[in-house]
A and B are shown apart, each in its own frame.
Chain A
Amino acid sequence: MESMTETTPQPSSPRGGRRWGTAAVWVAVLGLLTLVGFGLIRRQQGPVGVGSRMPEFTLTTFDGETIASRDLQGKVLLVNFWASWCIPCEQEAAELEQASQLYSDDEVVFLGVDYVDTETEARAYLARFGITYANGPDLGTRISQAFRIRGVPESYVVGPDGIITSVKIGPYVSLQEIVDSIEAAGGGD
């Protein structure tokens, strides 16, 4: 059995090289761990939560209008992510339109963001449910990435100060639920 005990001194020439090598290895290993750690944190983060500021975005609607989130400050905003291929989205489509009609004044704005969809399908979906509020495609999935959505449908209600007051994962189950969220954000009627 061999157990090494140091009887001869280390040769000095590789020492500098060895230090560099050790440092490089540690930097690489710790760097990789940090990266993966960040990725994990991001994954665990979940969607943008209640109490945080709504991410800024620009939406170009199907009608060609450009809406900047910055211009909507001071209003209560309901941002709804949907897709034409999303069956649960259909459950809330009619209610969302009804709710948008209830708040036909300028203080409450409904915005639909079409996630990863084709325009033909999207228009057909909107026509089918008679949706009149502004809807636009999420080009390059930038908006959905900003909100860090996990799937569709998801809805985010934002107060006049730009702070998110409620996050709904999944379809709204009733008109009342939508109304309650808006009232809670300060949408008066």
Chain B
Amino acid sequence: MALVGHFALILTFLAALYGAGAAAYGALRHRPALVESGRHAMVLTWPLITVSAACIIGLLVTGAYQVEYVANVTSQAMPIYLRVTALWGGQSGSLVFWSWLMAAFATAASLRRWDRDRELLPWVVVVTMVTLAFFVSLVLFFENPFRSLWQTIDGAQLSAIFQPAGTLPLVPSDGRGLNPLLRHPGMIIHPPMLYLGFVSFVIPFAFAVAALVVGRSDDRWIRVTRRWTLVAWLFLSLGLILGGRWAYDVLGWGGYWGWDPVEIAAFMPWLTGTAFLHSVMIQEKRGMLKRWNMVLIILTYALVIFGTFLTRSGVLSSVHAFAQSAIGPMFFAFIGVTTVASLSLLLHRWPDLRSENQLGSLLSRESLFLLNNLLFMGILIICFWGVLFPLISELFTGQKVTVGPPFYERATGPLWGGLLLLMGVAPLSAYGRTSARLLGIALWKPLALSLLVPIGLLATGMDSLAAILGYWLAVLVALVTVHEFWRGARARHRTRGESLFVALGRMAGRNRRRYGGYIIHLGVVLMAFGIIGIELFQTETQGSLARGEQLTLGRYVMVYDGVTQWDTADGRNVTRAVVSIYRDGKALGALYPRRDFYYESQQPMTIPGVRSSLEDDFYVILVNWEPIGNQSATFKVYHNPLVNFVWFGGIVFIFGTLLAAWPEREPEPEPRRAQARAPAIAGA
């Protein structure tokens, strides 16, 4: 099976190369048949790489430990579903998974009516296939999952695909097992979600590059990829949220985002992606910002590849980073080439992308969107610079430094606040001319109402200015957004006589992008509530307790009841403590923080015991314990106010994105025009 998978991979690589080559050649030489052949090759890559991925899964599930990858990431004790997810549990498998997604999406993107955009097709094929070929080449030549283990006569161990001379197969009796941290449900789908997001962004980029090559300066490429962009953004957001949830549940440090370089590496494409989502609306509505949108999508692609590179090359260290490997230079070369190529292309077409840029007013929606982009770029610069600076410091001064959360939080805090403010004001401003007066009229009611919040908070004695501002702005956004729903529903209700409820549903259904977007904003507001709560008001304490002793944190009292220890069937040793929680004297139940130790990988995992409510989380970590005899234990306890708003807001966020991305009935293109275009195939 390993050989089948390996050959399928080779064929995929060849098909991708041929597809890119044929499409490019066919486009340049006006040979539509060749372009079509290239497209067929592209469609072929997907079944081929599916075969390869299926082989890996087959090897994983059947426990073929002679294959090095299988020995590294699975073990006898692992259940079947975990073995399947081990496909992305290791470096080489995850690269195959990435490639599989790329092939799938390229094929999906090609299954559409190309009538109006025939000339873009070859270049979309080129971009997607070059990307695919790159990742498959990494797998084939550097991190091949189909390498098997062989042992020479003198006991040395080799790994190779084909049996080297003078060796015998080496079949370990058991594998090392998947890293225990990867066995949590959140961690099982976090990498796939992120990869889905990353890979999906390649499609809009491919269309953008195609538009540049061909010389089209309209927004056709944006309209065509609108749904792709939204779906990519959905998956990326979901991946980030799930990563946070996993960190909170399983890593046991009471938080969900550590401003770790690899977290940031996945966050940066999200920042440019969000800026892009907003700014393309301007291009669609007003035909402005053509060049800027090109810049944004090129940046997003570069950051996607760069992010994948950072997590694999060892250039930066972080809790996520993989060990240093040989693929670093390959990634670097690919990023260099694609960035320089995209940039050259863009500069070449720069004059053609001139748009009729007119701003009716500095308070118009276009202006506010521009401001939104500025703030997102600001956050991007902070993140990028913070991630890069330790490298610069080490290169120029030899001193290693850490750029940690204090830097990011203080630098980006005001920018997030600015974005919240914009979220509250922009829905009320119109395209074109909007005077300050009109905006003020629309804004004053929600603003006045929202001011109750800071007044109320100050009255209760809150002294954190950041929190007061944050909550005020969040409530403002909520009021404005709800007001927008109300306005629309009421208008519909008046003209059609529908009940408000039905009006709401139909209105949102008819204008999914707008109202989906508003729901996303509401999701962000909820998340902001939670984030401000936990970041600014988290309290913690640590203490050692003998049995029956208690510790206090705020209104909570925790009593230590006892600890037990046992071995489980899936190869781990569990030490579980029982604690009882009381708040204001009232008993709330028991929590079971525990420490799992996985024998095969010699790794401990700290699972907190958490009591969740909408108001707060009481989060207990078992830090240390004494042997069964003395039964005293050390606990670290966090009180996280409002943290569940983050997850709840995340659900609303995802729901809003789904609504926005849900297919609407597209207006049909007139048949006459389609026929007239058919003969004109290859480019300008």
Contact = CB atoms under 8 A, between A and B. Distances in A.
A90 to B, nearest CB: 17
Nearest to A37: B332
B314 A43 contact: yes
A42 B398 CA distance: 11
Contacts of B680: 1
B313 A40 contact: yes
A29 B336 CA distance: 9
B217 A35 contact: no
Interface string A39-64: 11011100000000000000000000
A40 B329 contact: yes
Interface stretch (A3-11, A161-169, A179-187): A3-11
A20 B461 CA distance: 53
B100 to A, nearest CB: 27
B502 to A, nearest CB: 41
A105 interface: no
A145 B391 contact: no
B505 to A, nearest CB: 38
B151 interface: no
A71 interface: no
Interface stretch (B49-57, B339-347, B654-662): B339-347
Interface in B316-350: 324, 328-329, 332, 335-336, 339-340, 343, 347, 350
Contacts of B119: 1
A40 B216 contact: no
Given A29-B339, A145-B400, A35 B395 contact: yes
B116 interface: yes
Interface residues of A, number: 25
Contacts of B324: 43-44
A3 B315 contact: no
A10 B398 contact: no
Given A3-B684, A39-B395, A44-B329, 18 more contacts: A1-B119, A1-B216, A1-B220, A1-B680, A4-B215, A4-B216, A4-B352, A22-B347, A25-B343, A29-B343, A33-B335, A35-B388, A37-B332, A39-B315, A40-B328, A42-B395, A43-B314, A43-B324
A3 B395 contact: no
B286 to A, nearest CB: 16
A145 B340 contact: no
Contact of B395 (A2, A22, A38, A141): A38
Given A4-B215, A42-B395, A44-B324, A33 B336 contact: yes
Contact of B215 (A3, A22, A42): A3
A2 B677 CA distance: 12
A36 interface: yes
B224 to A, nearest CB: 13
B351 interface: yes
Contacts of A32: 388
Point out which of A18, A43, A145 has the most chain B C-beta atoms below 10 A from its C-beta. A43
Contact of A33 (B315, B339, B351, B684): B339
A2 B388 contact: no
A43 B328 contact: yes
Contacts of A5: 684
B369 to A, nearest CB: 22
B391 A39 contact: yes
Interface in B349-389: 350-352, 388
Contacts of B398: 145
A3 B391 contact: no
A33 B215 CA distance: 28
Size category of the B interface is: 35 or more
19 contacts: A1-B119, A1-B216, A1-B677, A2-B216, A6-B352, A10-B351, A33-B332, A33-B335, A35-B392, A37-B336, A38-B395, A39-B391, A40-B313, A40-B329, A40-B332, A42-B394, A44-B324, A145-B398, A145-B400
A5 B217 CA distance: 11
Interface in B187-225: 214-218, 220
A5 B351 CA distance: 10
Contacts of A29: 339-340, 343
Interface of A is mostly: helix
Nearest to A42: B395
B214 A3 contact: yes
B196 to A, nearest CB: 26
B217 A2 contact: yes
The 6 closest A-B pairs by CB, nearest first: A4-B352, A3-B684, A39-B391, A39-B315, A3-B215, A2-B218
A25 B339 CA distance: 12
A35 B389 CA distance: 10
Interface in B584-602: none
A22 B340 CA distance: 13
Contacts of B329: 40, 44
Interface string B540-558: 0000000000000000000
Contacts of B218: 1-2
B314 A36 contact: no
Nearest to B335: A33
Contacts of B343: 25-26, 29
A1 B116 contact: yes
Contacts of A38: 395
B315 A36 contact: yes
Nearest to B340: A29
A44 B328 contact: yes
B41 to A, nearest CB: 26
Contacts of B350: 18
Contacts of B217: 2, 4
Interface in A64-101: none
Nearest to A140: B399
Nearest to B673: A1
Contacts of A2: 216-218
Nearest to B333: A37
Contacts of A37: 332, 336
Point out which of A4, A10, A38 has the most chain B C-beta atoms below 10 A from its C-beta. A4
Contacts of A6: 351-352
Nearest to A38: B395
A43 B394 CA distance: 11
Interface in A139-180: 141, 145
B171 to A, nearest CB: 26
Contacts of B392: 35
A36 B314 CA distance: 11
B400 A36 contact: no
Contacts of A39: 315, 391, 394-395
A36 B391 contact: yes
Nearest to A10: B351
B197 to A, nearest CB: 23
Nearest to B328: A40
Contacts of B395: 35, 38-39, 42
Contacts of A43: 313-315, 324, 328
Nearest to B352: A4
B673 to A, nearest CB: 10
Nearest to B310: A36
A36 to B, nearest CB: 7
Nearest to B329: A40
A22 B400 CA distance: 33
Interface string A15-30: 0001000100110010
A86 to B, nearest CB: 15
A25 B342 CA distance: 13
A1 to B, nearest CB: 7
B569 to A, nearest CB: 29
Contact of B391 (A4, A22, A35): A35
Contacts of B220: 1
A3 B120 CA distance: 12
Nearest to B315: A39
B91 to A, nearest CB: 16
B512 to A, nearest CB: 28
Point out which of A5, A10, A18, A40 has the most chain B C-beta atoms below 10 A from its C-beta. A40
